[in-house]
Homo-oligomer: A and B are copies of this chain.
Amino acid sequence: MTRLWNEPADFADEMVDGFVRANGRWVRKVHGGVSRSTRSASPEVAVVIGGGSGHYPAFAGLVGPGLAHGAAMGNLFASPSAHQVESVIRASEQGKGVLLSYGNYAGDVLHFTEAQETVRKEGVDCRTVTVTDDIFSAKPDEKQKRRGIAGDLTVFKAAGAAAASGYDIDGVERIAKLANERTRSMGVAFTGCTLPGADEPLFSVPEGRMAVGLGIHGEPGIDETDIPTADGLAELFVEHLLADGEIPEGVTVDGARVVPVLNGLGSVKSEELFVVFSRVADLLEEKGITLVDPQVGEFCTSFDMAGASLTLFWVDEELEKLWNAPTDTPAFRSGSFDSSDLETVDASEDEEADAVIPDASDDSKHAASRIAAALDAVRVTIDENAEELGRIDSIAGDGDHGIGMQRGSRAAAEEAAAVAEKGAGAATLLSRAADAWSDRAGGTSGALWGVILRTLGEKLGDTEQPSAETVSAGITAAKDAVMSYGKAKVGDKTMVDSLVPFADTLAERVAAGDALLDAWNAATTAAKGAADKTADLMPGMGRARSHGEKALGVPDPGAVSLAMIAETVGGVLADK
């Protein structure tokens, strides 16, 4: 149960603010997350990590000398946007290349990969190693599909230590891959967790029961049992982690050296973990394993979830040396870090991203001010309907659609008003609003709304007077981009279900010679009808599967909110 917040929508931002104020010795706030506040005298490969918030000390608590150089911080349990990741990369890279490392989750992969592509175009040698340590999230022969949990720590630490030791980007990438291959974890959970402002837990486990393999965002586990004794849990952990297929290539158990990381997910306390660890240590030593620098505590949490995981990091000589190298971050410190050659980063060096407003024609400026008015109307509509959208979403998903749309539409409307004031054209305004929306909304729907606004803007440009044809072409392009980005098709119970009929009807009617307003209204009617029909579909993506039964009979919140926005914009168009 989370109890302390102000506005739930502001929680993640205020959290970052407090974190940075408490830890200014290590980090500075940059757009999209944090970057180190110091830099070593000789440039290093930059290790940029990140993911959703709610997992402290992952990820921001692991930024500092000897570990990561920056962390992109998404909203609670939501990936940072590509724009946020890019910004953290820019603030952190030192001309020696960048390694992106993060847990293997679809949303994170989407956004980090997009950011990687963008900075590569600018000449940054950017590589990626995702963490895939959770042995219950896929079979050993599909290890690359596994999710990342507390093994994040060992992979990030090995990569960060390699960077600090002067390895080049090839070397840092090699070490991160090796560390990931040699890191295996398994987790159990006794309760779910409740996000700020939510009335109910995001997911739950029956009282007295233990979900084996439950993911840190509530992804389904593989089994449910009664809660065992502390010794019983230790035995379960060790049995599975020493099973066939989980011993990394080239490792012989008897005589191996292992860093064990016993991680509490939030409400399991240190005292309990020490009792479990006492038996874990026995069991590993009985197998002839030497324990290296054991870690017992919180390394990757899931808010106040009660649960624990055990990670085994099978070190070779090189990995052990890197593991033992000194580290100095807000939440993880080891050895004696010699800080004498650190320089403080001048925060004014951080790019004033997008400070310049490109020139625009008066026609486009006029169009931009009408788009800003439309975005403001959208903000009002979403504010009024946020609760209902959240309610619908909570049946099949994680219940954050309303709050995400609210954060996104507010941020987009504010940014649009500010840049319209400065004389932005339609493309610039939409691009800025797109970044604001996806940065603040977080999650996949935030990213998709960013894609829609940005793609539409590209078609409108900063010089032409938008016409029915350019608007329709922009919406069609946005539809294509969303489908390509999210890999969803009609019938998957997503936003695509109403976006496709909207874009197609708009294109047909404009081609048939309708005025924009008429065509738009016809398209809106099609989108609303299609959104209603999503109630008859089974959800087709992600973890919503496990809620499939309950979700039947409930429309898709993304499809509903798209139709709602279309109708609102139609009202502004009519308001000529």
Interface residues of A (CB under 8 A from B): 1-6, 11, 14-19, 21-23, 25, 53-54, 56-57, 61, 76, 190, 196, 227, 229-231, 233, 262, 266-279, 281, 291, 293-297, 301, 303-304, 306, 308, 326, 328, 331, 333-334, 336-339
Q: Which residues of B contact A301 (CB under 8 A)?
A: 269-270
Please tell me if the beta carbons of B21 and A294 are within 8 angstroms of each other in the complex.
Answer: yes
Of A17, A21, A76, A338, which is in contact with the most chain B CB atoms at under 10 Å from its CB? Answer: A21
CB distance from A157 to the nearest CB of B (A): 15
Q: Which residues of B contact A339 (CB under 8 A)?
A: 336
A-B contact pairs, 6 of them (CB 8 A): A1-B267, A4-B273, A21-B278, A22-B262, A56-B269, A336-B337
Q: How far is the CA of A18 from the CA of B233 in the complex (A)?
A: 14
Other-chain residue from B25, B54, B269, B273 in contact with A18 (beta carbon distance below 8 A): B273
Q: Which residues of B contact A56 (CB under 8 A)?
A: 269-271, 274
Closest to A55 in B: B271
Q: How far is the CA of A70 from the CA of B297 in the complex (A)?
A: 21
Q: Is the interface of A mostly helix, strand, loop or mixed?
A: mixed
Other-chain residue from B4, B22, B190, B274 in contact with A233 (beta carbon distance below 8 A): B4
Q: How far is the CA of A18 from the CA of B271 in the complex (A)?
A: 9
Known: A21-B281, A336-B337, A337-B336. A4 touches B276 (CB 8 A): yes
Closest to A280 in B: B18
Known: A18-B296, A22-B296. A2 touches B272 (CB 8 A): yes
CB distance from A265 to the nearest CB of B (A): 10
Q: Which residues of B contact A334 (CB under 8 A)?
A: 333
Q: How far is the CA of A417 from the CA of B441 in the complex (A)?
A: 68
Q: Which residues of B contact A277 (CB under 8 A)?
A: 18, 21-22
Of A4, A279, A281, which is in contact with the most chain B CB atoms at under 10 Å from its CB? Answer: A4
Please tell me if the beta carbons of B306 and A1 are within 8 angstroms of each other in the complex.
Answer: yes
Per CB-CB distance, the 6 closest pairs between chain A and chain B, nearest first, are A18-B274, A18-B278, A4-B272, A18-B277, A56-B270, A4-B230
Please tell me if the beta carbons of B22 and A294 are within 8 angstroms of each other in the complex.
Answer: yes
CB distance from A384 to the nearest CB of B (A): 23
Please tell me if the beta carbons of B19 and A274 are within 8 angstroms of each other in the complex.
Answer: yes
Please tell me if the beta carbons of B54 and A6 are within 8 angstroms of each other in the complex.
Answer: no
Q: Which residues of B contact A57 (CB under 8 A)?
A: 270
Q: Which residues of B contact A3 (CB under 8 A)?
A: 190, 227, 268, 272, 306
Please tell me if the beta carbons of A304 and B18 are within 8 angstroms of each other in the complex.
Answer: no
Please tell me if the beta carbons of B229 and A5 are within 8 angstroms of each other in the complex.
Answer: yes
Please tell me if the beta carbons of A4 and B275 are within 8 angstroms of each other in the complex.
Answer: yes
Please tell me if the beta carbons of B230 and A14 are within 8 angstroms of each other in the complex.
Answer: yes
Closest to A228 in B: B4
Q: How far is the CA of A295 from the CA of B23 in the complex (A)?
A: 8
Q: Which residues of B contact A5 (CB under 8 A)?
A: 229-230, 272, 275
Other-chain residue from B2, B6, B16, B338 in contact with A269 (beta carbon distance below 8 A): B2
Known: A3-B306, A227-B3. A18 touches B275 (CB 8 A): yes
Q: Which residues of B contact A293 (CB under 8 A)?
A: 25
